[in-house]
Structure 1
Amino acid sequence: MTGAPRPHHRIGLVVPSSNVTVETEMPALLARHTEATFSFHSTRMQMHTVSPEELRAMNAQRERCIDEIGDAGVDAVLYACLVALMAQGHPGGTGEHVGTEAAVAAQLAERGQAPVVTSSAGALVHALRATGARRAALVMPYLRPVAELVVAYLEAEGIRVVDWRALEVADNAEVGCIPGDRVRDTARSLDLSGADALVLSACVQMPSLPLVQAVEDELGLPVLTAATAGAFTLLDGLGLRVDLPGAGRLLTRDALVGA
């Protein structure tokens, strides 16, 4: 006798054209869910170099991409470029992720659709708050001036950045090839004495998923990435149980509550 089929959810991903990691890590994470299944439907915004100019040009492609995602009738949308929004700061005193997520939701509402909408930027803020973290340390692939914009963004959201490292990689394709050993060694170099959480990869393009659990076990504090924060926020928004083993305590929230 077989059980009832698990509910299926379509996830729309809006990604930079040079990004290959989020379409690998997000399916790998959500495949661990035992109560639902997922498919992934992507649209791409052209971007090669992580610079303020290219990020603004990439964001200008949003409406076309959302129209394409709308054709797939998705249940949730992830605007999957953290720095593209954080680099824009807080126009009018509100984080760029808030305005972008609202604009995406409004555009889809015109088509009679109401999917869950989040962004990598908003998801990281949401996930850090969900862990109770007020002080975080960060590892980022960006050039230092861009990394400083990410630090300023998080601090404007009430999350103090106690230490951070920028790996100074401008080419987004190269970001997707950063070795895990380099990411782990960089995390080890941080001063974590005042941190409530470590963001091992503040970028959905820098690979980090295989490292999350091992680094969390080694360093003894919650370890998040842009990908795990995105998975957490998608599950939260869809009203699904947050229990994805092997990717840090953030993604075993409901398992821990039920223990």
Structure 2
Amino acid sequence: MDVSFLGGPHPQRGVGVVAPFDFALDRELWRWVPAEVSLHLTRTPFVPVEVSLDLARLVSEHETLGDAVRALNAVAPEVVAYACTSGSFVGGVAGEKAMREAMTRAGALPSLTTSGALLDALTELGARRIALVTPYTVSVTQSLEEYLAEAGITVTDRAFMGLTRHIWKVPYRDVADMARRAARGHADALFIS
């Protein structure tokens, strides 16, 4: 920790994170955060539904997102991110945009989603053809492919696990094996959801 002689630690920049109730990968987020950034996490309310398109819709309702962003306002983050890939692509490109707008209205600050950031990253890379790895069922994976197609992205190859719960328990080795299988074609990039 960088500490000035008398003033204590340097101020940190805050990033608010709205995660679904079943998100158990907080450590993954912290791995990539620079030292000067603090993550302020909040979760959506519990919904007794397995990972599915229905769950993705329930954890991304605008009222739920608004409540979460208003809770994060107490710590005054500079930006708010919605950390649920399926929840942010399930409504298509227009649905993702509406989610960001609802979050921005609730907190009067810039907002982004995992799926929106994915499209921004692919644009930055100039990637139009991607290989795809997901832990999801076939229907959720197809919904992601539809979202990408709507944005002009072609999925060249895919690998998915068909999981309906405990996604955070998938070992890195399994993910790496799936990535190797999916990245055999002529893709510009690989996306691991």
Query: TM-score by structure 2 length?
Result: 0.87
Unaligned runs of at least 5 residues, structure 2: none
1:183 partnered with 2:175: yes
- Look up the match of 1:26: 29
- Look up the match of 1:192: 184
1:191–1:9 CA distance, 2 compared to 1 (3 A):
closer
CA RMSD of aligned residues (A): 1.9
- Look up the match of 2:89: 86
- Residue type at the aligned position of 2:52: S
Paired residue for 1:130, among 88, 102, 124? 124
The one-character-per-residue Cα deviations of 1:105-126 (angstroms, maximum 9, x if unpaired) are: 12212xxxx3x31110101111
My pick for the range that moved more, 71-80 or 46-55, is 46-55
Moved over 6 A (4+): 2-5
Q: Distance in 1 between matches of 2:14 and 2:69?
A: 14
SS of corresponding position for 1:165: strand
The count of aligned residue pairs is 184
Tell whether the 8 Å contact from 2:21 to 2:43 is kept in structure 1 after alignment: yes
Q: Distance in 1 between matches of 2:183 and 2:31?
A: 30
Q: Distance in 1 between matches of 2:42 and 2:181?
A: 36
What percent of counterpart residues are identical?
27
The one-character-per-residue Cα deviations of 1:60-101 (angstroms, maximum 9, x if unpaired) are: 3212111101122111111110101211224xxx3x221111
- Look up the match of 1:148: 142
Q: Distance in 1 between matches of 2:72 and 2:169?
A: 27
TM-superposed CA distance for 1:190, in Å, is: 2.0
Tell whether the 8 Å contact from 2:53 to 2:139 is kept in structure 1 after alignment: no
- Look up the match of 1:58: 59
Query: TM-score by structure 1 length?
Result: 0.66
Q: Distance in 1 between matches of 2:105 and 2:66?
A: 11
1:165–1:62 CA distance, 2 compared to 1 (3 A):
same
Unaligned runs of at least 5 residues, structure 1: 203-259
- Look up the match of 1:245: none
Tell whether the 8 Å contact from 2:60 to 2:99 is kept in structure 1 after alignment: no
